[in-house]
Structure 1
Amino acid sequence: MFLKRIVLSLFCFHVVLGKTPEIREDVRKFPDGFLFGVASASYQVEGAWDEDGKSESIWDHDTHKIPSPIDDMSTGDIADDSYHLYKRDVEMVREMGVDFYRISLSWTRIMPTSFPDKINQAGVDYYNNLINELLKHNIKPMITLFHWDMPQKLQEMGGWTNPNIVDWYGDYVRTAYELFGDRVKYWITINEPTQICLYGYGLNLLAPRLNIPGVADYLCSKNLLLAHARAYHIYDEEFRASQGGNISITLSAQWYEPESELYATASREYLQFDSGVYAHPIFSKEGDWPSIVKEKVARKSAEQGFARSRLPDFTPEEIEYVRGTSDFFGLNHYSSYFVNMDEDTINSYAVPSRADDIGVNVFKLNEWVLSEFSSTDYVPWGFYKLLNYFREEYDNPPIFITENGFGTYYTGLDDDERVTYYRGYIGAVLDAIDDGTNIIGYTAWCLMDNFEWTKGYTVRYGIYHVDFESPNRTRTPRKSAFVYKEIVRTRSLDIGFEPDTSVMTIDEGH
C-alpha cells in the first residue's frame, strides 16, 4: 500500500505539473462519430410548477420560502415556460444542428404521489411530445432521470438519507424506461451527486439545505450510489435487450492544481474526496470508497468521539452491486482550483465536515476571471489535466462531457467572453483527445438562459438569450450560438471564425 501510494503521488505530480498545452490557431478536426449537444434541466426551464397534476418538488418548496433563499427572490414557477413552449426549444436545438438534446424528467410531473400508484398522463404527454418532436428532426434525446428536483414528500421522509430511496427511485426509473425507453438511447441516472449531497445535505447552499456536515452528506452519498446502481441494473436486466440504449451517472468534477510540488499529495487527496467518492466505487477495478477517504474520515471520526466512522461502509455485496454500473463516464466541468495547506484556513473549518476531513485549502486566482461580468472562471488547462487524469485513473473509459459552459451577469447578445470560454475549453478537449483520452461527446450548458438555482435569473449561461419580461419568453441567439453552430457544422474548431449574427438559419438536415 505504501509503495502504491508513492507511485500514485508521483503520477499525480507528473500530470499536475506537466506542460500545459498552448492555444493553437490552426483549424482542428474532431474524430469521426464525435457527438455534440446542448442541455437543460426540468426545474430550470419547464415552469408550470403546479399545472396539470404536477406535485411539489424540493425546489418548488425552497423557492416559495419567506424570506426567499434565492438571490433575486425568484422562482422556477414559470422559468422559460418550456412546458408550453417546447416546440420553440426544439426549433432552437434544430437551428444549432446538434446531434442530441439533454433534458431531464420531473419526477413529480410523472408521479405526483412520488410512487407508481398514480401516473400523471398530462406529464407523460408532455415528455412524449418533446421526445417525439426531437426525433421528428433527427435529434437524439438524452434524458437525465434525476436533476436535483426530489419530490418534497420523499424529502420529508429523509430523501437521500433514507435507505428506502433506493427502492423508491428504482420504481420511478422503471416507469420512465417503460414510458420512454423505446425512443431514448442515452440515459443519465443522476446529475452531480457532489452538489446534491455536499451542498444540499452537508451544507445549506442548495435544497433541501439540511446543513448536517460530515454526516448527512456521507449518508446521501452511499444511498445515491446504490440508487444509481439500482437504475443501472434495472435497465441492464429488464430493458437493454429490447431498447438497446446506454446509461451512466454524471459527475461534476473540477481540477485541483497544487500550488507547488509540496502539495501534490494534497491535490490527489482532494480529487479523491471530490469526484473520487463517486467515480471510484463505479469505475475502479476494486470498487468501494477511495482508501484515503475511508482512512481520513475514520481517523477524524474517532478523534471527535464518534462510535464509528461517519462514512458508512459498503458491504462486499454492495461493492459488487455498484462496481461497473456505467456504459460511459458522464462528466460536468466548469472550473479549477489551486490547493495548499494554509493552516489558518484549514483550522477554520467546521467540525465535523467534509472540509475538515480533507484538511486541504482550495483557492482561485483573480487572473482566471475574464471580466467583472464573469461568474465562471476561465481555466481551460485545468480541464485538459482533469480529462487526462480520468484517463489514467480509470483505464481510459469513454468520457461523455454532459455539461460545460460559462455564466455571466451580462445579459446582452454579444457574449465574447462566452465565445472565448467555449473555444478554450473545446480546445482542451481536443488536446486531451490528441493525448489518447477517449472522449466521445460534448454538451454545451446551456441552450438558453434559465433559473440558475440560488442565483435565480441574475446569472446567464444560455447561448440563447431569454427575455423573462416577455410573456412569450422570447429566445434570441447570442454570438456564442453562432460560434457553437459552426463548430458543430464543421466538426472542427477554428478560433479565427467570426460569425454573421444577422440571421440564424435552420439546418434542413436536422
Structure 2
Amino acid sequence: MKIFLLIFLACFCTGAFGIYIPKATNITNRKFPSTFIWGAATAAYQIEGAWDEDGKGESMWDRFVHSDPTHIDDRSTGDVACDSYHKWQEDIELLKQLNVKLYRFSVAWTRILPTGYLESFNQAGVDYYVNFVKALRAAEIEPMVTLYHWDLPQTLSEQGGWLNDSTADRFGDYARIVFKNLGPYVKLWATINEPKTTCTQGYASGEMAPGLKLVGDGIYQCARVQLLAHATAYHIYHDEFADQGGNVTIVIDATYNEPLTDSAADAEAAEWEFEFNLGWYANPVYLGDWPQIMIDRVGNRSKAEGLSQSRLPPWSKDELEFVKGTFDYFALNMYTAVAVNAIDEPPIGTGNYYLDKGTGTSYKPEWTPSIAGWLYSYPYGMRGLLNRVWSKYNPGSIYVTENGWATTEDLNDQGRLEYLQGYLSNMLDAILEDGVVVDGYTTWSLMDNFEWARGYTQRYGIIDVDFNSPNRTRTFKDSAKWYSQTAATYCLVDTCVD
C-alpha cells in the first residue's frame, strides 16, 4: 500500500534558520491536538563523550570499542562523540530553536556509580545531571529521563551483566539515587531502553556490547533479568518517591508486522512475530507472563532438543506479581515494518531464538529502503502498530519515544523529511480517527551521533554534527527547519485546518 509521495517546492520563510515548509500530497492537513508534546531524543553514550572525565567509570561499551576497533564499522568510538557533556548548554539552545517541549535523554550509570556499586558513588555525576535537568526546566522543556540506554558498568558486565540476577538489584540501587536527586525536576521516567535489542544483539548475535553469542539461552535470561530490573526500579519509585508525582515505564521497540500474503498461515506468522518481539517484553509488564506462543514453542523445541527444561526461563508466582502492572504509560520505539510469512518447522538442533520464532521475514518491494539495511519506510505501519498496542495492552497513554531515518551526511535530507511527515501523518490518523491516545513524540535523533556498531557511518540526526571539527559544530538540516515549524504550528504542511 502506497501511503505517500512528497513533492517538494521551494518555500523559505524568514526566521533564524529559514523555515522550510514542503508541499506534500497524501499528508494530513489537520492539526495535532494542542496538548500533544513535541520532542527529540538522544542517549548518553552516543552523544556525551567525556568517557573518563569527572570520576566516570568504564562501561561495557567503553570496553567493547577499546578492546577491538573492528567491532565498529568505521573503527570509531564514543570517547568524544558530540561532546555534549561539555556542550549541553548549546544543546538546550538548539532544543529551544526547534520549539520542542520534551527532551528524552539517558543518564550514564557509570557517571553516578562508576563500578555499579553504591560505594563508588560519584557526586560529580549527580551534580552534572541535576544542573542539566534544572536548565531544561528553566527553558520550559520537559525532561524525559531514561535510566539505562545500553551502557552497563563494565564491573557488572564482568560479573555476568544481564545474565546475573543480582544486576537487577544493582539497577535498583542506581535508580534510587537518580530518583532522589533528579526526581524533583522530572515527571517522565523510562527505566530500560529497548531491552530486546540489548539481548538480541549484545547477548545473541555478538554485534553489540558485550559481544556474547548465546542465541539459544542467554538471550532469554537477559530478557528476564532486564524485566526484573525494570520492575525493581518501578516499585522503588512508587514505594519511596510517589510524592514526586512522576510516571515510570519501560521502553519497548517493535516493528509493524505485515503478512506477506493474504493467507491465514501468513497472518498467524505475523502474530507469532509480534509476540516474539514486542510481546516478549510487553506481555510480562502489561498482562503477566511470557506470551503463550513463546512458552509453547520454546518449551516444545527445548524438549525435542533433549533438554530437561525450557530455554525460556519460567517466572515464579512472586516474580509474575512483581513484574505485572509496572507501567504508567507505554513508551514505544518504532522505525520500520517487516513482511512476515509462514515457514516449515525449522529442524531441531542447537537452540536458537530465530528458529524458535518459526517465521520468515522480508520487505515488500514498494517500501522505501534507507541506507540502514534493516530500515524501510512504510508509514501506515505506524498507525497499525499504535492500534495494535492500544487494543492489546490498554496502556492509557502512549509516547512514541524513538522514530527516525538513516541518511548519509547531507543537510538537504529530503528522505528523512518525507519519512517523518509520512509517519507523523499516520500517527495523527491513529489519534483522530482511531481514538489512540498518543501524548507525545520524541524523534530520533536530535543530532547525528555514535550509532553503536555502525559508528558515524549512518546519520539519524535532524541536526548535523561535524565530527571532523574539534568544536563538533551543529547545523540545522532541512528536516530540523521543518520540524521546528511543525512543533510551533502542530501542522505537518504549510496550511492546516483545525
The reply to whether TM is greater than 0.5 is yes
> Letter of the aligned partner of 2:267 in structure 1?
A
- Superimposed CA distance per residue, residues 162-216 of structure 1 (whole angstroms, 9 cap, x where no aligned partner): 0111111100000111111111111100000110111111221211111011200
Name the SS of the counterpart of 2:377 in structure 1.
Answer: coil
Aligned to 1:357: 356
CA distance in 1, matches of 2:305, 2:437: 43
Bigger shift: residues 133-142 or 388-397: 388-397
Residue 466 of structure 1: how far off its partner (Å): 0.4
Aligned to 1:449: 448
- Equivalence map 1:162-181=2 (5 Å): 162-181=164-183
CA distance in 1, matches of 2:346, 2:70: 32
Aligned to 1:480: 479
- Superimposed CA distance per residue, residues 304-340 of structure 1 (whole angstroms, 9 cap, x where no aligned partner): 0111000111111111111110000000010010011
Aligned to 1:265: 268
Residues 370 and 376 in structure 2, CA contact (< 8 A), matched pair in contact too: no
- Residues 130, 271 of structure 1: alpha-carbon distance in 2 compared, 3 angstrom cutoff: same
- Superimposed CA distance per residue, residues 272-302 of structure 1 (whole angstroms, 9 cap, x where no aligned partner): 0100011011112xx1111111000000000
Q: Is the counterpart of residue 283 in structure 1 residue 286 in structure 2? A: yes
Residues 189 and 247 in structure 2, CA contact (< 8 A), matched pair in contact too: yes
Residues 141 and 186 in structure 1, CA contact (< 8 A), matched pair in contact too: yes
Residues 299 and 312 in structure 2, CA contact (< 8 A), matched pair in contact too: yes
> Letter of the aligned partner of 2:241 in structure 1?
F
- Superimposed CA distance per residue, residues 208-228 of structure 1 (whole angstroms, 9 cap, x where no aligned partner): 111011200100111111110
- 221, 228, 231: which one pairs with 1:226? 228
Name the SS of the counterpart of 1:199 in structure 2.
Answer: helix
CA distance in 2, matches of 1:459, 1:399: 28
Name the SS of the counterpart of 2:409 in structure 1.
Answer: coil
Consecutive unaligned residues of structure 2, counting only runs of 5 or more, are 5-24
- Equivalence map 1:200-211=2 (5 Å): 200-211=202-213
CA distance in 2, matches of 1:494, 1:25: 8
Aligned to 2:410: 412
Percent of pairs with identical residues: 45
Aligned to 2:419: 421
Aligned to 1:214: 216
- Residues 316, 347 of structure 1: alpha-carbon distance in 2 compared, 3 angstrom cutoff: closer
Aligned to 1:137: 139
Bigger shift: residues 191-200 or 363-372: 363-372
Residue 125 of structure 1: how far off its partner (Å): 2.1
CA distance in 2, matches of 1:47, 1:357: 39
Residues 423 and 495 in structure 1, CA contact (< 8 A), matched pair in contact too: no
Residue 25 of structure 1: how far off its partner (Å): 4.3
Residues 448 and 460 in structure 2, CA contact (< 8 A), matched pair in contact too: yes
CA distance in 1, matches of 2:381, 2:343: 21
Residues 168 and 228 in structure 2, CA contact (< 8 A), matched pair in contact too: yes
- Equivalence map 1:120-199=2 (5 Å): 120-199=122-201
- Superimposed CA distance per residue, residues 51-97 of structure 1 (whole angstroms, 9 cap, x where no aligned partner): 11111101100111234210000000000011111111111111111
- Residues 317, 402 of structure 1: alpha-carbon distance in 2 compared, 3 angstrom cutoff: same
CA distance in 2, matches of 1:375, 1:320: 36
Aligned to 2:52: 50
TM normalised by structure 1 equals 0.89
Residue 34 of structure 1: how far off its partner (Å): 1.0
- Superimposed CA distance per residue, residues 454-490 of structure 1 (whole angstroms, 9 cap, x where no aligned partner): 0000000011000001110000000000111111101
> Letter of the aligned partner of 2:308 in structure 1?
A
Name the SS of the counterpart of 1:283 in structure 2.
Answer: helix
Aligned to 2:18: none
Aligned to 1:10: none
- Residues 321, 91 of structure 1: alpha-carbon distance in 2 compared, 3 angstrom cutoff: same
- Equivalence map 1:79-98=2 (5 Å): 79-98=81-100
Residues 250 and 329 in structure 1, CA contact (< 8 A), matched pair in contact too: yes
- Equivalence map 1:282-301=2 (5 Å): 282-284=285-287, 287-301=288-302
Residue 373 of structure 1: how far off its partner (Å): 8.4
Name the SS of the counterpart of 2:340 in structure 1.
Answer: strand
- Superimposed CA distance per residue, residues 20-74 of structure 1 (whole angstroms, 9 cap, x where no aligned partner): 8776345211123111110110000000111111111011001112342100000
CA distance in 2, matches of 1:20, 1:398: 29
Aligned to 2:459: 460
Q: Is the counterpart of residue 327 in structure 1 residue 328 in structure 2? A: yes
Q: Is the counterpart of residue 339 in structure 1 residue 344 in structure 2? A: no
Q: Count residues with an aligned counterpart.
A: 473
Q: CA RMSD in A?
A: 1.9
> Letter of the aligned partner of 1:406 in structure 2?
W
Aligned to 1:11: none
CA distance in 1, matches of 2:364, 2:36: 33
Aligned to 1:251: 252
Name the SS of the counterpart of 1:494 in structure 2.
Answer: coil
Aligned to 1:439: 438
Residues 25 and 495 in structure 1, CA contact (< 8 A), matched pair in contact too: no
- Residues 156, 26 of structure 1: alpha-carbon distance in 2 compared, 3 angstrom cutoff: closer
> Letter of the aligned partner of 1:289 in structure 2?
W
Aligned to 1:380: 379
CA distance in 1, matches of 2:174, 2:490: 37
Residues 370 and 417 in structure 1, CA contact (< 8 A), matched pair in contact too: no
Bigger shift: residues 348-357 or 378-387: 348-357
Residues 277 and 290 in structure 1, CA contact (< 8 A), matched pair in contact too: yes
Name the SS of the counterpart of 2:421 in structure 1.
Answer: helix
Residue 342 of structure 1: how far off its partner (Å): 4.3
Residues 349 and 355 in structure 1, CA contact (< 8 A), matched pair in contact too: no
Name the SS of the counterpart of 1:182 in structure 2.
Answer: helix
Residue 395 of structure 1: how far off its partner (Å): 2.6
> Letter of the aligned partner of 2:284 in structure 1?
P
CA distance in 2, matches of 1:298, 1:373: 34
TM normalised by structure 2 equals 0.92
Aligned to 2:366: 367
Bigger shift: residues 266-275 or 202-211: 202-211
CA distance in 2, matches of 1:116, 1:443: 32
Name the SS of the counterpart of 2:354 in structure 1.
Answer: helix
Name the SS of the counterpart of 2:232 in structure 1.
Answer: helix
